[in-house]
Chains A and B, each alone.
Chain A
Amino acid sequence: QAEAMIASKKMDKEYLPIAGLADFTRASAELALGENSEAFKSGRYVTVQGISGTGSLRIGANFLQRFFKSSRDVYLPKPSWGNHTPIFRDAGLQLQAYRYYDPKTCSLDFSGAMDDISKIPEKSIILLHACAHNPTGVDPRQEQWKELAAMVKKRNLLVYFDMAYQGFASGDINRDAWAVRYFIEQGINVILSQSYAKNMGLYGERAGAFTVICSDVEEAKRVESQLKILIRPMYSNPPLNGARIASIILNTPDLRKEWLVEVKGMADRIISMRTQLVSNLKKEGSSHNWQHITDQIGMFCFTGLKPEQVERLIKEFSIYMTKDGRISVAGVTSGNVGYLAHAIHQVTK
């Protein structure tokens, strides 16, 4: 619908400002921070349009390399999205890790994470997945987020949130942004990368945003000026199409309502596939504990399958997943969930 509106308005193709479409960046900040957020209302933030999640992460990485002189180290959860490491490395930073996923329980190694984070040198950079951790699907519970916030505050770490699945994870945009908002409320001036690839299905249109929460409006202006200096020699100014679609959706009340329903629909389908997979496994007679499949959230699921089992699934059942046992739940349908459960049971019984 937003595309039809755009087509009917016959707009021109003039360059966007370096920082992108203003209506889009403002709406993006509001979506992430919440309309009642003090940081948002006071204007002590800067949001620039980025080339989807990757481009936004890269802007942030370059910004840190140039201006964050306290540390060259970025701490990623173990494991993290495969592209995080090369992005930060190419930006000139170094990568470290903190424990995150516990393969024994297929869930969060919370004590390991807290232990590692407690030892991170002060003023280092820590990257956190806001929701729907990629690739494991394992997110901290709210009480755990609270403890993580207290710890990073204690260690005086620079917090970089990667939020690629707001709305797409639980179906509720506020719930999915809870951690980001909580950290900011605790006085942690985070930096944030957002993507509209999944939650608006705008993948190839490359709509994203990079935000820096600042102490005040003046600092935000200075930061914006430096971000523009970084962006211009990369691609001058960002592509309009995806940002305009996203902006119209976010800023038009009726369309925004429809979008919230649609994104919940996508999230619900994923959640339903998780539930069906587990119930089908039980029906197959599997005696294993598959609770992690429904405990995990988002597009991906770390099944706990071992490499040999994965190989059998590929060879004998033509079911494709990565060696670490990760499946894309988005690829599961009511038509194939039974087959998938059957195959998994065969290789694990």
Chain B
Amino acid sequence: LAAYRTDEGQPWVLPVVKKVEQMIANDNRLNHEYLPILGLPEFRANASRIALGDDSPAIKENRIGSVQSLGGTGALRIGAEFLRRWYNGNNNTATPVYISAPSWENHNSVFVDAGFKDIRTYHYWDAAKRGLDLQGLLDDMEKAPEFSIFILHACAHNPTGTDPTPDQWKQIAAVMKRRFLFPFFDSAYQGFASGSLDKDAWAVRYFVSEGFELFCAQSFSKNFGLYNERVGNLTVVGKDADNVQRVLSQMEKIVRTTWSNPPSQGARIVATTLSSPQLFAEWYDNVKTMADRVLLMRSELRSRLESLGTPGTWNHITEQIGMFSFTGLNPKQVEYMIKEKHIYLMASGRINMCGLTTKNLDYVAKSIHEAVTKIQ
């Protein structure tokens, strides 16, 4: 599973999380009572503020809403259920949903189980040039029926690690605006990707500034290391406050039959952290620690491969971002890595950069070199 590891190859509970958990444990005013259906208010407001930015025009204009959810998956599912019921007509299961090729494999299941009947892919990864197939992507958007839903990765695309540049995002937004396409962002790595919350949220915020109504499914699994507490948030950006209130009222009905109300522990940790300047700074530091380690592993792996003279180009290792990298290894080479070298990659050639440590970098680089030179 996709989880961060330290240089010792161990899971990492963020120091700020340990601190805040102790605070919560010592706070006698707290109990285990139900949260409201839409979640802990302080969590919801802070979580959306993190995604949209302190000075977001949408927040200022009071046209945002938030639904605390069970992880990023839960946020995606609640958003999908809402769209199937109320978007583009009533219960219009025929609205096309576009998912990038490739994408996180659970995206498909989320929208299928939410009732959508027409799930399509949009061009994304160009295997030949090992980068974004922007032209293919834009073509798909031009041809998509109006009002189609597009699942966009806010940053650190899973599994390719390849994100559009700001300029490319601008082109994407222009087409989507013209074709009335609905942006549904999946933001699972904010902060974790580049080390900067603002940089990793640039695309979402740009779309908001361009006047889009959109959904953004946020996960705090990676950037807070709170994987098993299931902390997520669905941010809704609407036309106006009235609209958003009506949306939230329908969201409540959906939540009520799915999990009634969300778990409190993880949301409390995040809310406490985000609402204290000092704790927020500590958290930011912890996030940067994780992001920097991954960036270091990327640069170290690339330089080793280039020193070894491994055939091919390896700049994609550092140009890609986030937890994953599409190495470019083919299935046979991947099989070699797994069977002969005991290094685990997906058949797609996807590697989890968090698995790299200063101790195993040499071994991994050498193994990739062998795989590429021995196996065609």
Contacts and interface: CB of A to CB of B under 8 A. Distances in A.
Whether chains A and B associate is: yes
Interface of A: 3-4, 7, 10, 12-16, 51-55, 58, 83, 86-87, 89-91, 197, 201-206, 229-230, 232-242
Given A15-B228, A236-B71, A239-B265, A55 B109 contact: no
Interface residues of B, number: 45
Contact of B228 (A4, A86, A232, A239): A239
Contacts of B363: none
Nearest to A57: B257
29 contacts: A4-B25, A7-B22, A10-B18, A13-B228, A14-B11, A14-B228, A55-B258, A58-B257, A86-B256, A204-B32, A204-B264, A205-B263, A205-B265, A206-B261, A232-B109, A233-B77, A233-B112, A233-B114, A234-B77, A234-B113, A235-B77, A235-B259, A236-B70, A237-B71, A237-B230, A239-B263, A239-B265, A242-B32, A242-B265
For the complex, would chain A's binding face be called helix, strand, loop or mixed by DSSP majority?
A: helix
A58 B221 CA distance: 24
B226 to A, nearest CB: 6
A58 B259 CA distance: 8
A55 B69 CA distance: 13
The 9 A-B pairs with the shortest beta carbon distances in the complex, nearest first, are: A235-B70, A233-B109, A54-B260, A204-B264, A51-B259, A240-B228, A239-B263, A236-B73, A235-B74
Nearest to A7: B25
Interface string B11-26: 1010001100110010
Contacts of A239: 70, 228-230, 263, 265-266
B376 interface: no
Nearest to A88: B257
B25 A55 contact: no
B70 A51 contact: yes
Contacts of B22: 7
A13 B227 contact: yes
B260 A201 contact: no
B11 A12 contact: yes
Given A7-B22, A203-B32, A234 B74 contact: yes
A3 to B, nearest CB: 7
Interface in B16-66: 17-18, 21-22, 25, 32-35
Nearest to A50: B259
A218 to B, nearest CB: 25
B32 A13 contact: no
B225 interface: yes
B11 to A, nearest CB: 4
